[in-house]
Amino acid sequence: MASKRAVSTLPTALSTSHPLRTAVPSRLSSCSFSASSSTSYEILPELEEKPRWQQTPPAMVMPVRTRPRPYNNEFKVNNDPHQLDTVYTKILGYGGDKMLGDEVKWLAVTHKSFDHGRRGFNDRLAILGKRIVDVQTSIALLAVPQVPSSTKTPTPDEYGRIPYHHPALETLSKLTLESKTEALNKHRLARLADSYGLGRVIRWKPKQAHNLQGSGIESVMASTMYAIVGAVAMERGGRQANQVTREKILSPLGLI
Q: What mean pLDDT is reported for the chain?
A: 80
The confidence score (pLDDT) of residue 160 equals 85
Radius of gyration in angstroms for the set of CA atoms belonging to the chain, rounded to a whole number? 29
Cβ-contact 211, 72 below 8 angstroms: no
Of the candidates 241, 240, 236, 227, the one whose C-alpha atom is nearest the C-alpha of residue 128 is: 227
Question: Backbone phi, then psi, for 121, in 5-degree steps?
Answer: -150, 170
In a domain, 117, yes or no: yes
Q: How far is CA 160 from the centre of its chain?
A: 56
- pLDDT grade for 249, boundaries at 50, 70 and 90: very high
The confidence score (pLDDT) of residue 144 equals 75
Question: CA-to-CA distance for 90 and 96, rounded, in angstroms?
Answer: 8
- Quick one: what percent of the chain has pLDDT higher than 70? 78
In a domain, 96, yes or no: yes
In a domain, 7, yes or no: no
Determine the average pLDDT of the residues in 165-170.
74
The confidence score (pLDDT) of residue 8 equals 45
CATH number, position 96 = 1.10.1520.10
Residue 172 belongs to domain spanning? 52-58+74-146+168-250
3-class SS of residue 23:
strand
pLDDT digits (tens, 9 = 90+) for 198-218: 999 999 999 888 888 889 999
- pLDDT grade for 26, boundaries at 50, 70 and 90: very low
The confidence score (pLDDT) of residue 150 equals 54
Question: CA-to-CA distance for 97 and 86, rounded, in angstroms?
Answer: 7
- pLDDT grade for 33, boundaries at 50, 70 and 90: very low
- pLDDT grade for 17, boundaries at 50, 70 and 90: very low
Count the domains in the chain: 1
In a domain, 43, yes or no: no
In a domain, 15, yes or no: no
Q: How far is CA 18 from the centre of its chain?
A: 33
The confidence score (pLDDT) of residue 164 equals 80
The confidence score (pLDDT) of residue 233 equals 97
Q: How far is CA 11 from the centre of its chain?
A: 42
The confidence score (pLDDT) of residue 151 equals 57
pLDDT digits (tens, 9 = 90+) for 76-106: 899 999 999 999 999 999 999 999 999 999 9
What pTM was computed for the model? 0.72
Question: CA-to-CA distance for 28 and 39, rounded, in angstroms?
Answer: 10
How many CB atoms lie under 10 A from the CB of residue 239? 9
In a domain, 17, yes or no: no
* Alpha helix segments (H runs only) across the chain: 2-8, 10-17, 81-92, 102-108, 123-143, 177-183, 186-195, 217-236, 238-245
In a domain, 3, yes or no: no
In a domain, 133, yes or no: yes
